[in-house]
Chain A
């Protein structure tokens, strides 16, 4: 553990010692806790500033455009321009709205996303709360997002918002299942729910040991964050941008911040679960965490600039008819492999083989079935016939 690696911890310890001279023990804990809260807020909000810029740039580059390039060098301060614009907007509450809930919902949108950061290890020993149920906590908190969306859409008093909510609930409830299964696979192998333990268990990143679980988790978290291609609750063409339709000004900004913070959460959790978290050679742990997270974030944005939006029936089919059975099978096979071969190198290798084999088997099965099928829909879905 090098000097740079431990630098934040050293600073924290020094601060703790400094405070200990003037304050009682509970006061020190209080101040340290507050500092941690502020740090988490910074870690959650700072990426939002970067991501609003990055998303536009990545989308633009993928489409041979510039993206923002007038506000500051390379358009870097575009987030601040956005903030100023949004802050000066009129705050409108529709007449049909349920005023209290309408006012309250935007805060509810942001809270679950911020809470997840408490269990993300951002470097060696750098975690706000190393719960022994860490990853389960993240999954549970993720399911709170539904409540926020329900509150926001219902209180808007708008039928498009309500349609968006029905879509969103179907989507979130469906994708929680494959997500839980893929997390379960990870927990099974690492032998603990604590996020730190999961990271420490990854001598080889789990993405290489069980690619099915990794891809499933990634896709399911895209669905939970309502990102493309699962962003159909935002369908501009059908339901006029869905759940935040009636919001304006700062309240809309809360949805906006929540959305971008959630992208960062996807990156952070995928990194923690499948990419080996803060582990990596040479560079300090937090740098590795940041690099891996940003790589995942880039993939999220890359997908946004490529894939079209899915239809609701395709979305549900994909979850219930492909991801859930696939992950159940994967869970059982991986459990078997690691029980028989141990969690060492052999087990990891066998697990990879089993994963790839499962994918190939399922693919062959689907193609066989589709070839012999007369249903146009099945053939189009699996074989890509038009």
Chain B
């Protein structure tokens, strides 16, 4: 009453102004936080704004990012056998795979992944029976053309970076 609300409002903004300097993840005068930023609790005080291109949140384990290949620790190669299950499962025809070798020796020779058309549905991963592919944590693959692609080596490197060992780990599908 009688402007008490207005004064209270001023007090609130003043508190926020002060707490943006004194508490929260940016208590210290540093422009950007290093590494992936943990998601703040709802009760956290201070400045929480994510400075996006320079800072990124940690993605959750089941995040469906760019498709990656997993490395077989014994051979150091992808476990893909070019069985074409993923190619058949893909609703958009994003994947193109060629193989070489016969029977148990069969391995993927090329594995092309068209980023621009992928809808991140994870059906390819569901269909894979060889523990070879998984959705990774990366998501900044904007392309200006429809046919920007990743090849096998790039996808293996991304798999190394995401740290996933087996398909379906985060989904509770690995015993």
Contacts and interface: CB of A to CB of B under 8 A. Distances in A.
- Are A and B in contact, CB atoms below 8 Å, in the complex? yes
Interface of A: 58, 61-66, 69, 302-303, 305-307, 363, 366-367, 382-384
A64 to B, nearest CB: 5
Interface string B43-67: 0001111010000000000000000
Contacts of B4: 384
Contact of B1 (A58, A66, A307, A382): A382
Contact of B14 (A66, A302, A367, A382): A302
B127 to A, nearest CB: 45
A60 to B, nearest CB: 8
Interface stretch (B5-13, B102-110, B113-121, B132-140): B5-13
B49 A306 contact: no
Interface of B: 1-2, 4-6, 9-10, 12-14, 16-17, 19-21, 31, 46-49, 51
Contacts of B14: 62, 302
A44 to B, nearest CB: 27
Most buried by A among B13, B16, B46, B48: B13
10 contacts: A61-B21, A62-B16, A64-B46, A64-B49, A65-B47, A65-B49, A66-B47, A66-B49, A306-B6, A307-B10
A219 to B, nearest CB: 11
A382 B1 CA distance: 5
Contacts of A366: 2
Q: Which of B4, B5, B31 has the most CB of A within 10 A?
A: B31
Contact of A302 (B13, B19, B21): B13
A354 B17 CA distance: 35
B interface majority secondary structure: helix
Nearest to A364: B2
Nearest to B11: A306
A231 to B, nearest CB: 16
A382 B19 CA distance: 32
Contacts of B9: 306-307
B17 A61 contact: yes
A119 to B, nearest CB: 31
B46 A363 contact: no
B58 to A, nearest CB: 21
B16 A61 contact: yes
A61 B24 CA distance: 13
Given A62-B17, A65-B47, A306 B5 contact: no
Which of B5, B19, B20 counts the most A-chain CB atoms under 10 A from its CB? B20
Nearest to A370: B1
B13 A383 contact: no
Given A61-B17, A307-B10, A367-B2, 7 more contacts: A61-B47, A64-B20, A64-B49, A65-B49, A382-B2, A384-B2, A384-B4
Contacts of A383: 1
A64 B47 CA distance: 5
A384 B5 contact: yes
Contacts of A66: 47, 49, 51
Contact of B20 (A61, A306, A382): A61
A19 B17 CA distance: 50
Contacts of B47: 61, 64-66
Contacts of A307: 6, 9-10
Contacts of B2: 363, 366-367, 382, 384
A307 B47 CA distance: 21
A250 B5 CA distance: 40
Nearest to B54: A70
A50 B130 CA distance: 63
